[in-house]
Each structure stands twice: as C-alpha cells, then as structure tokens.
Amino acid sequence: MIIAPKLLRLKNVDYTRRGETVTIILDGEPRQQTVIFSGNDYWDERYYFTEEGLRYIQDSRRRRPWQEFVLDHLDKIPSILKAPDVVGRSIIDPSSHVYGKEFSRRTSQRTRHLFIAVLKKTNINVVWNLYCAEENHVPHETEILHVGKSGQKFLR
C-alpha cells in the first residue's frame, strides 16, 4: 500500500508499532488491521491509524467526488482526535465516536469546514473514517459527549 509521505512524518504520534497487526472485534468478528501510527485522543486513550482504515477513507471519499478534497487533509487526524471542537457517540452504532474540528481549506476563497474523524471504540480504538460534515454540523444521530470553546456552533 502506498502511504502519503506526510502521513509518515507527523508530530505527536508514535510510529514504533508501524507494520504490526492488531485485531479489532466488530460485530463479534475479528478484523486484522496493519498499524501505520498510533496516538492518544482527547480522553488520553490510545488509538491506531491503520492501512485498512486509510484504504476505507480513500475509497469512501473517492466515491463522493465533492468530498475528495478531504484526502489532502489526512494529516489533520491526530489534531482532530487530540484537540476536538466537539466529540460525540453515534446513537445508531455506539462503538462509533465522532471527533470534529474546524479547519480552513484554501480554495479560490478561504473556506472553513468541520472535519469529522470517526473512531471505532471496541477492544481497541481504530480510526475508521474522515469526512467533511454536511453544513458544518455534527450528524443528527449523535449523542454529544464534549463541546469545546468553539464547538457550540457545530450542533443542530
């Protein structure tokens, strides 16, 4: 798998387990994940960013061309998880936690977007997705767990 060079030079993450496999249990089924890096989230819990998670993010963003620009911002994942504006848990899938943080995106004009990193919290925590929130709001079906200083504007 080809990994963008900037994902291999991030600050405040741990690359010592790179290439190791970890097993996440989803719906009672074990799934092997190959570690790219790990870090600690807002709650100071260890998470893993894996090749399989990266592949899923790449595939899902390419299926939604209006969100393909998110792939240029994968290096923001550690910052989103460590210092989010808002954190919530999916009501539909309680193992899915959403961490949201606003970033600027350079286009013809400077625009701000709420980026959402999804962390699957089961036997271990694994980054599952990254996307740009619709209308810069946390998804409706989210139980809010934390709101930072500027996070209130992202709630519906």
Q: Supply the pLDDT for residue 111.
A: 78
Q: Is residue 72 part of a domain?
A: yes
The pLDDT of residue 110: 72
110 inside domain: yes
Kindly state whether residue 2 falls inside one of the protein's structural domains.
Answer: no
Structure tokens given for 122: 């089961």
Domain housing 71: 9-154
- Total tally of structural domains belonging to the chain: 1
What predicted TM-score, i.e. pTM, was given to this entire model? 0.91
43 assigned to some structural domain = yes
Q: Which amino acid is residue 39, in one-letter code?
A: G
Render each residue's pLDDT in the chain as its tens digit; 156 residues: 778 888 999 999 999 999 999 999 988 899 999 999 999 999 999 999 999 999 999 999 999 988 898 999 999 999 999 999 999 999 999 999 999 999 877 665 677 889 999 999 999 999 999 999 888 888 889 999 988 877 666 676
Residue 97 within any structural domain of the chain: yes
**Which residues sit opposite 24 in a β-bridge?**
31
Residue 21 in 3-state DSSP?
Answer: strand
Instruction: Judge contact between 31 and 51, C-beta under 8 A.
Output: no
